[in-house]
Structure 1
Amino acid sequence: MKSSWLLSLASSSIVLALKVLAKEPTASSTAHVLDDQGLTYCTPQGIIGDVATCDFKSVENVNRELAPLISRLVSTTYFRYYKVNLERQCPFWDDELKCTQPDCAVEEADEEELPDEWKTSSLSGVDFTIGGAGFSSFSKCTFGEDDFCLVEDELSPDGTYVDLRKNPERFTGYSGDSATRIWRSIYSENCFHTEAHGLDNQCLEKRVFHRLVSGLHASISTHICIEHLDRKTGEWGPNLKCFMYRVGDFPERLKNMYYTYAVVLRAIAKLSPHLGDYNFCAGGDKNSGKLTEGILTDIVKITARDPSTFDETQLFVDSQEYLKLEFKQKFRNITQIMDCVSCQKCRLWGKLQTSGLAAALKILFSVQDISGYTLRRSELVALFNAFHRLSESLEAVESFRKLYHESFPTERVTASASRSVEAVPSETPIHEPVALDRDDNGSAAAESSAPSLFSFESIMDSQSPWGLFIGAVIFIFGLARILLQTLKKEIQTDVSKKSQKKHQAKSKRKIRHA
């Protein structure tokens, strides 16, 4: 009988699906061991690409040397105070909503703790020469020709100084439509639009722009997850599921974060030989100035020793000034979108990091002779603090990598994690917009013992166990439908035959009676 054959086939398919799920990963779906400890999750390998000439491992190695130096540098008086206008109106849409979470607030610096020359009463006497405090005056609310952002004006009565150490960047609870709108506006309106085939057919300059924005986004997401509030215990600490949900399970995001680091590192290396021209004394404290200069000297030694991490000379060649202008205008828009962030602390760090990246782009693409050019103090502060945040992001990746293997010691690294370590083309599209700081714990994977297997990306991968399982389930449902249709037809046939027999028997009885 057909139904018996179909039942047998369906049973065999279920057994096959279970065998697929229980099968050990093949060599193609198991990650290669890429470091000494065998920790493969979030361990990219190979050349970063798109004129970033270094490899991922070299970037991690140089960051291990630079990280403690950069951390000390941003703790000095000169680099820890940043003047910023957090009350500037959003230039793109009306948004009067403000984040009411306590962690959204910014603690302003008391003027008494500032060096004398930075106080409002002393600004008229500030020395703006290259040997002075490192600032220079500019017209209010205008972009300089070389600028990739609206640089914060330390002479303006608008704005206030903030001690960055007292306002660390971390999870604040800022979420909702207002938060999501920020990144959506950045990607949909102020990035170069991708063609139907993604970034493959984009020119180099447009790919660089996409990767810089995506890398900054991934870095900010990493900061949120490494300094995450456990609402049950009230303690701050790393949230692995948050990281996997936002960054870890998306290799292109991780690679772009390394890319952005490499670009900013190149800008600092280009500027480094001329840092001795700046006066880093704050408030006449020569000891503080000597400390800052000493740390910068050590940083210069490392950046001068290592080969260039990015070749900026390959961009905007053959009279592509129109493309540079468009590149610059789009990045300016992104820096202004930070004035639309409702969370004050998120706005502070968004403005600081986009301004720092803008300073790096200015050094690489706008300033022909860096030896005769003076950056404003606010640009230097933004540049090195933005680099510090990228540096801490790379350290956080190493921490999450270890935490992943401690949390799932028996898990085999399957397709989702495998893609995190295999070479991914640099043309991989940037990730979809999410909130600047969203209140989530990676909920899509929260109930899983191995969250990386439950990302949409891994489920839809035909080479992963879950992808094969989903395919088998679909196949079984198809067979079940065929089986039900066949059974229905057979039942209908049986009923028809019984009806015919009953009709024939009735006809025979009528004939006999006749």
Structure 2
Amino acid sequence: MYKFKSMIFLNMSVLLLVFTQCLGYFGVREDSDDCFCQLQGSIDDCTCNVDTVDYFNNVKIYPRLRSLLTKDYFRFYKVNLKKNCPFWIDDSRCAIRYCHVETCDEDLIPPGLKGEAKKEPSEQKEKDKYLQKSCDQDYNEELSYLNTTISAKIQKEFELWRKYDDAQDNFCDINENDNDAEYVDLLLNPERYTGYRGFSAHRIWNSIYMENCFRPKSSLNAYIQSEKLSGMCLEKRVFYRTISGLHSSINIHLSAKYLLSDQSELGLEEKGKWGHNLDEFKRRFSPETTNGEGPNWLRNLYFVYLLELRALEKASHYLEREEFYTGNESEDWDTKLAVTDLLNIVKKFPDHFNENVMFNGGEQSQKLKNEFRQHFRNVSNIMDCVGCDKCKLWGKLQVQGLGTALKILFSGMFDRQTSSNLYIESDYKKDFQLKRTEIVSLLNSIGRLSTSIYELDEFRHILR
């Protein structure tokens, strides 16, 4: 009899635990509908499920990215934070000290990032000089009659051609040679809550959702309700889910790295104390405070993670040939090994996002792709309207990283792979290229998404 009562008590305890996990994360209330209980099963418009991503990311991807992104090649990001907002007068600069971006000491920037060429063995350099000199002597007289000057007008036309070509491929403006661009040490300027909020922050996201996301005619709110997404075509749903997922990721970072105390008030260390703020997380994602949409926004985080992971897998053979040069030979070697290890893990993921089902409708589909690209370029330009420098830094980096992923997936440059695992061209005459800022932003963007999924698990433990 005693054993029988014990078994009943144990079974009741298990049922109670399950019940409280599903209904008690946001307070034990009968009308509470916990978003973590809804955050399960298959991910919308993908063949993967949430549990698979959680395990793969938290156990295999996140630890590798966390280590890799401390390497010099990925920690220094060149960006122009002085560009004016192209859409409205920016009169809402953040005056909070945590909005400030700490400048990078010029001496700390690796020489390879500042343009120093990779040193070649002396013997090879002498051989190259000899060959060049021989060529000059043989052909100088023969070709001396050619007029090698290019007028300023022609040079301007070349620049317009280059910008046109870039616009056909890129989902963001890439200005590595911008005179106002400076290197920022991302480790000195981590993404976290700065206090930037209110009208200015609301205007940024409202402009992104209302003016640049594809929308059903019946949708009047900034956020499209999930049941209305089913009435949109796949390409338009993908655009909205990527933006929503990026927004969710940023909100998770702000909730996980929230300013819990400030030294000016409590006399703590100079830089304050950051940590998990459960109330802020609930405010941003609880069904009760989001009209039931919070769990869907979290699902979109998983969607954009899968999209960027697929882009990384598709570009893996290109990245494996990258040298990741900074001038520090030993660290460059370690970085290359770490990237190769990460890519090998990414290739083993079983359920990658399938971009081949998109934009397959002839001329109308091509028109939609151009709209897709232009809308995202607008989103990237809106990042120059952010009134907090640190928020602008991470906004520009993550949007550029997402834009790089879209470029890899949808530019049309390399839609197939040969049997030797080398990308071949389809419609474009020029070779596929990624600039350093694109590689840095892509890996850091995936790193942010990976961290968000990892932090979700941390919030689960706190809520329990």
What TM-score comes out, normalization by structure 2 length? 0.73
Which structure: larger Rg?
1
Partners of 1:195 and 1:202 within 8 A in 2: no
Q: How does 1:432-451 map to 2 (within 5 A)?
A: none
Change beyond 3 A, Cα 1:200–1:179: same
- Secondary structure in 2 matching 1:230: strand
> Residue type matched to 1:192 in 2?
F
Q: Structure 1 regions of 5+ residues with no counterpart? A: 1-23, 34-39, 128-136, 406-514
Whether 2:168 is the aligned partner of 1:171: answer no
Following TM superposition, the consecutive aligned residue runs of length 4 or more in structure 1 with deviations greater than 6 angstroms are 27-30, 137-142
Deviations 1:412-460 (A, max 9, x none): xxxxxxxxxxxxxxxxxxxxxxxxxxxxxxxxxxxxxxxxxxxxxxxxx
Q: Give the counterpart letter for 1:145 in structure 2.
A: Q
Question: 2:361 is matched with which residue?
Answer: 318
Superposed CA RMSD in Å reads: 2.6
Question: 1:198 Cα deviation (Å)?
Answer: 2.0
Contact 1:281 1:288 in 2 (8 A): no
Q: Which residue of 2 aligns with 1:86?
A: 81
The match for 1:491 is none
Q: Check 1:141–1:162 CA distance in 2 against 1; reply closer, same or farther (3 A cut).
A: farther
Task: Quote the Cα distance in structure 1 between the aligned partners of 2:253 and 2:107.
Answer: 31
Q: Which residue of 2 aligns with 1:337?
A: 382
SS of equivalent to 1:198: helix
Q: 1:176 to 1:32 in 2, by over 3 A?
A: closer
269, 277, 291: which one aligns with 2:313 = 269
The partner residue of 2:252 within 195, 216, 222 is 222
CA distance in 2, matches of 1:375, 1:112: 26
Residues 464-493 of structure 1, C-alpha deviations (whole Å, 9 max, x = no match): xxxxxxxxxxxxxxxxxxxxxxxxxxxxxx
Deviation of the 1:347 alpha carbon: 0.3
Query: Which structure ranks higher in relative contact order (CA pairs < 8 Å, sequence separation ≥ 6)?
Result: 1
AA aligned to 1:243 is F
Aligned equivalent of 2:66 = 71
- State how many pairs are aligned: 360
How far the C-alpha of 1:117 sits from its partner, in A, is 3.5
User: Compared with structure 1, are the counterparts of its residues 340 and 88 closer, same or farther at alpha carbon in structure 2 (3 Å cutoff)?
Assistant: same
Matches within 5 A, 1:189-338: 189-196=211-218, 198-231=228-261, 234-249=272-287, 250-283=294-327, 285-319=328-362, 320-338=365-383
The 1-side partners of 2:304 and 2:21 are apart by: 28
Amino acid at match of 1:401: R
Separation in structure 2 between the aligned mates of residue 248 and residue 293 of structure 1, nearest angstrom: 41
Q: CA deviation at 1:49?
A: 2.4
Q: Does 1:396 align with 2:455?
A: yes
> Distance between the aligned counterparts of 2:254 and 2:178, measured in 1?
31
DSSP 3-state at the match of 2:395: helix
Partner amino acid for 1:180? H
Report the CA distance shift for 1:61/1:94 in structure 2 as closer, same or farther (over 3 A): same
Give 2:171's match in structure 1, choosing from 128, 132, 148.
148
TM-fit CA distance, 1:299: 0.9
The Cα shift of 1:168 comes to 0.2
Report the residue type matching 1:268 in the other structure. L
SS at match of 1:322: helix
Secondary structure of the residue aligned to 1:156 is coil
- Segments of 5+ residues of structure 2 without an aligned counterpart are 1-14, 25-33, 120-157, 219-226, 267-271, 288-293, 416-422, 424-430
Q: Taking every aligned residue pair, what percent have the same amino acid on both sides?
A: 41
